[in-house]
Structure 1
Amino acid sequence: MSPPQANQPLPPGHQLENYRIERQLSMGGFSIVYLAYDEEDTPVAIKEYLPNSLALRSAGDVLPTISEEHRATFRHGMKCFFEEGRALAHLSHPNVVRVLNFFRANETVYMVMQYERGRTLQEHIQKHRGEIKETFIRNVFVRLLNGLREVHTHKLLHLDIKPANIYLRIDGNPVLLDFGAARQALGGEGPNLKPMYTPGYAAPEQYKAPDQLGPWTDIYAVGASMYACLGGTVPQPAIDRLEKDRFEPAAKKWVGKYSPQLLETIDWCLDLDHHERPLSVFALQKALTERQPAVNESTWIDTLGQRLRGLIKK
C-alpha cells in the first residue's frame, strides 16, 4: 500500500470563522496546526483534524476529499477529536495548554488554543545534549506533573507525552501540549490507519492492551521523556522490549552523573509491567521532590578510602 499523500494546509489569510490564518506551525499524520489571529488580533494556535490516511485536501481546495470507504472512520475520529476539545476546554491550569474554543467547519473540526511563546523540550535537549542538569530535570517535571495531575483529576489521559509535546515558556515554566487520546481512539479503527503513538515514549499497553490504559500509561511516557533528557537518546520502543528487552536502565547508563535516586525513579516509570510503575502522578512527584546526594554514602566512603590510600603512598 502506497503511503498517504500529505494534506495541503489552509493558505495564509484564509478566514476561518472568527480567525485569520497566518501560517502553518506544524503538520503530522493526524492534524495540522496553524498560527492565527482572532478579531482582537490576539495570536492563537488552531489545530485542524485532518488524518492523511483518511482525507486529502489538494492545493487550492478548502474542503478535504473523503472517500466513502473512509467516511465512517473519519467521522468517528472527528467525534473523538471534538469530545477531547470539549473536555480540555473545562481544564484551566498553567501547565496545560489552554483550549479556548472548538468548532466544526470545512467538513472537519478545529480546536483553538492559547498560543505559547518559547520552545519545546525536544529543542532544548538537542541544543544541550548530554549537558542537562539534574535540577533542571526535577524542576521541569515536578511542575509539568502539576498539570498532569489536573488532567487525570478530570478523568482524562494525555497518551502522547514526549519532549516535542512539552513546551518551555520563556520563563521556563513547562506546558503540556497536543493531547493524543483522540489519536489513540482512532488507531484501531482499520487497516488503513497506522498506530499514531510515538515509539520509545508509548507504553506497552498502548500497543497490546488498550483496555488497560490509565495514569500509569502517561507516567511511562514521562519517564521516557526524563530519560531523553539524560543523554538525548530515546528508550528502546516498548513493543520491541516486549519481544527482546535490550533497554539499558538509567541507573546503569548514567551512574555517577546523576543521583541514584533520580535514575531509579526514571527506571521505575519505565517498568514494562504497569502494576510496577508509580500508579499516580502524586507518587511520582513525591519521588522527584525527595532530593538525595548525587553520590550515596558507600560510594563516598570508597572514594574517601582511595584518596587516603593515595596520600599514604606519597
Structure 2
Amino acid sequence: MENNHKVLANLCPSCFFEKGSAEVCPACGYRPNSDNEDWNRLKPGTVVHGRYAVGRPLGQGGFGITYLGFDLLLETKLAIKEYYPAGVAARNSTSRSVLHASEEFKEDFRKGLEKFLEEAKVLARFEGHPNIVSVRDFFEENGTAYMVMTYLEGSTLLQYLEERGGRISFEEALNILVPLMDALDEVHASGLIHRDISPDNIFLTRTGQVKLLDFGASKTAMALLQHRSHSIVLKRGYSPSEQYQTRGSLGPWTDVYGMGATLYRSIVGVTPPDSLDRMAEDILPSPRQLGISLPSHADEAILRSLSLFPGKRPQSMREFKELLTGIPDDSVPFSSSPNAISSRLPAESPGPAAPLSSRKKNPLKILLLLLPVFAGLFFFLTRNSAETVQPAGRGNTVSSSPIASEKEPNGKAEVKETPGLPAKSDEISTGEGKQPSQKNPVIEKLPVKIGYLAALTGDWAAYGQTEEKTARLAVEQINAKGGVLGRP
C-alpha cells in the first residue's frame, strides 16, 4: 500500500502524467478536490483491488463506466470498466460505492452483475486476440464489479468517419469490418453475443489495428429491463427489432444487424432508420439507390442484414461476409435461425438492388416439382428422335413421341394402354396419329436450370433477369402444347 502511494505521488490522478509537485496537471488540467468533481463516478486516484488506480472516465454507456487506469505493479496504463447500469444503480456520494437504485431493481441489478462477471471469464480467453479488447482481470468491489482491459490509443470508427467527411468507400469499410466479423464468429462460438455493435464501439488504433469494444456489458441480464426503459438498453438505428422484445430471440443474427447498420452508416453517411420506425412502413433505401458505388450482391447483402425479421438475415457473421464479398464457401453449413431459415443469394444482374421477396421456398417441394418438369422437357426436346423399345421376350413395341397436340376435352393428354405391356400412368401417347416434329429455337436456347427454377417459384429477380424473357417464352411454348408448367 505504501509503495502504491509512492508510485502515485508524482502522477496526475486523472491522466497519470508525471506532473511532479505541480498542483494542477499541465497535461490535462486536473485539479484535486475541485468543486465541479462528479460524485456519481469514482474519484480520480481511487485504488481498486489493491493494484489498479482509477483515473478520468473515458466513456459511459447504458451499462457501465469505463475509466483510464494505471497498473501500480507493472506501471502501465490500462482501461477499467465498472458495472454501473443506468437507471438501476446508484452511488453513495461519500464512499462512492455502488448499490441498486431501489428494491424494485435489486434482483435485476444482481443478475446483471453475475452476468457481467460470467462474460468477463469468457472474454479472458481471448487475451491477445488482434481484434478484441480482451479482459486481463476482473473482480468484485465497492458493491459492484470491474473488468481490467488493455488501454488503446487511437480513435473510434465514428470519429474516423467524421474526420473523413462523414463516410468512406465500400472497399475501405470492408477492410475495416471484415476482421471484426471473423472475430465475432469466434466470440459467437463461445456462446457470447455483443448486442451493441456500432461505430462508437469499434476502435482504430494508432498502430493500424481494429478492435471491438464494450464487451461484458451484461446486456443479457439487462434485457429484463427493456419493458421499463428502452433507452438504457438500445442504440437507435443499430438495434434490431428482437432487442425491443422482452422475450426476443437473440443470437448471432442480432449482431449481424448491428454490423450491417454500421457498414450502412460507414458508406452512406447516415444511420439507418430505427427498426421500430420501420415496422409500419419499411422504406429503407439501399446504398446503391442512394448513389453509393458497390457491387450489387453487396448491396443486397446489406439489405438482408438489416431485415426486420431475424430469420431473413444472414445467420452468422461468416455467411454475411460471404454475401458481401461474393465468395461463397459451400463447405460451411447453414446456421440455424429462430425460424429455421437460412439462404444464400446468387449474384443478380447490374442495377439498383431491391429487398428480397418474403416468399419462402420449400426445397423438397421444388425438388418434387422439378422431376416431372425435366421429364416433360426431355420428351419435348427429343421429339424428333423416335426410339423403339423392345421388351425381352415380347413382340410388342412402344414408340416414344412428342407431347400431344390432340387432347381430351378437359385439356389433358390422352393416356392409352399399349398391348403387351402393363398400363402406366406416366406413359403418355399422342393417340393414333403422330405430329411432325418442329424445331423450336426458343426451347433449344432455354437456360433450363435458371429459367425453370424462376418459372416454378415465380421469383424472376432472384434467379437472374437476363434469362427472364427467354424463360417466359419457353413456358408459353410448353403451355401452348398442353405441357407441364403453369404460367408464371
Give the TM-score, by structure 1 length. 0.84
* Shift, 1:124, TM fit: 0.9
Match of 1:141 among 177, 183, 187: 177
Query: 1-side partners of 2:171 and 2:225: how far apart?
Result: 42
Indicate the structure with greater helix content: 1
Match of 2:337 in 1: none
Query: Does residue 1:115 correspond to 2:147, yes or no?
Result: no
Match of 1:179 in 2: 215
2:44 aligned partner, one-letter code: P
* Shift, 1:101, TM fit: 0.9
Match of 1:304 in 2: none
Match of 1:62 in 2: 96
1:229-276 per-position Cα deviation (integer Å, ceiling 9, x unaligned): 013211111112122323222231234x33333322211211122222
Sequence identity, in percent? 36
Query: 2-side partners of 1:82 and 1:153: how far apart?
Result: 19
2:315 aligned partner, one-letter code: L
Compare 154-163 and 87-96 and name the one that shifted more. 87-96
* Shift, 1:225, TM fit: 0.1
* Shift, 1:73, TM fit: 1.9
Query: Does residue 1:224 correspond to 2:261, yes or no?
Result: yes
Match of 1:206 in 2: 243
Query: 2-side partners of 1:270 and 1:65: how far apart?
Result: 38
SS in 2 for 1:70: helix
1:188-210 per-position Cα deviation (integer Å, ceiling 9, x unaligned): 24765445121111111111374
SS in 2 for 1:69: helix
Asked if structure 1 preserves the Cα contact closer than 8 Å seen for 2:64 and 2:217, the reply is: no
Query: Does residue 1:246 correspond to 2:246, yes or no?
Result: no
Match of 2:59 among 17, 21, 26: 26
Which protein shows a greater Rg?
2
SS in 2 for 1:212: coil
SS in 1 for 2:65: strand
- C-alpha spacing 1:232/1:184, structure 2 compared with 1 (3 Å): farther
Q: What does 1:86-101 align with in structure 2 at a 5 Å threshold?
A: 86-92=121-127, 93-101=129-137
Match of 1:307 in 2: none
Compare 69-78 and 35-44 and name the one that shifted more. 69-78
Query: 2-side partners of 1:298 and 1:238: how far apart?
Result: 28
Q: What does 1:161-180 align with in structure 2 at a 5 Å threshold?
A: 161-179=197-215
Query: 1-side partners of 2:297 and 2:243: how far apart?
Result: 27
Match of 1:303 in 2: none
Asked if structure 1 preserves the Cα contact closer than 8 Å seen for 2:39 and 2:96, the reply is: no
SS in 1 for 2:203: strand
1:23-77 per-position Cα deviation (integer Å, ceiling 9, x unaligned): 1111223211101111211111111011231222254432134333332221111
Query: 2-side partners of 1:156 and 1:117: how far apart?
Result: 26
Match of 1:306 in 2: none
* Shift, 1:280, TM fit: 1.5
Query: Does residue 1:52 correspond to 2:89, yes or no?
Result: no
Match of 2:42 in 1: 10
Query: 2-side partners of 1:131 and 1:73: how far apart?
Result: 39
Which aligned segments of 4 or more residues in structure 1 are displaced greater than 4 angstroms? 190-193, 296-299
SS in 2 for 1:45: strand
Higher relative contact order (CA 8 A, sep 6+): 1
Query: 1-side partners of 2:77 and 2:308: how far apart?
Result: 41
Query: 2-side partners of 1:70 and 1:114: how far apart?
Result: 31
- C-alpha spacing 1:103/1:113, structure 2 compared with 1 (3 Å): same
Query: Does residue 1:77 correspond to 2:112, yes or no?
Result: yes
Query: 1-side partners of 2:303 and 2:227: how far apart?
Result: 34
Query: 2-side partners of 1:174 and 1:221: how far apart?
Result: 17
Asked if structure 2 preserves the Cα contact closer than 8 Å seen for 1:201 and 1:225, the reply is: yes
Compare 199-208 and 280-289 and name the one that shifted more. 280-289
SS in 2 for 1:10: coil
Query: 1-side partners of 2:39 and 2:99: how far apart?
Result: 10
Query: Does residue 1:197 correspond to 2:234, yes or no?
Result: yes
Q: Please, what is the CA RMSD of the aligned residues?
A: 2.3
User: Where in structure 2 are there 5+ consecutive unaligned residues?
Assistant: 1-37, 328-347, 352-488
1:215 aligned partner, one-letter code: P
Query: 1-side partners of 2:263 and 2:236: how far apart?
Result: 15
Asked if structure 1 preserves the Cα contact closer than 8 Å seen for 2:113 and 2:145, the reply is: yes
Query: 2-side partners of 1:7 and 1:53: how far apart?
Result: 16
1:47 aligned partner, one-letter code: K
2:301 aligned partner, one-letter code: T
* Shift, 1:287, TM fit: 2.8
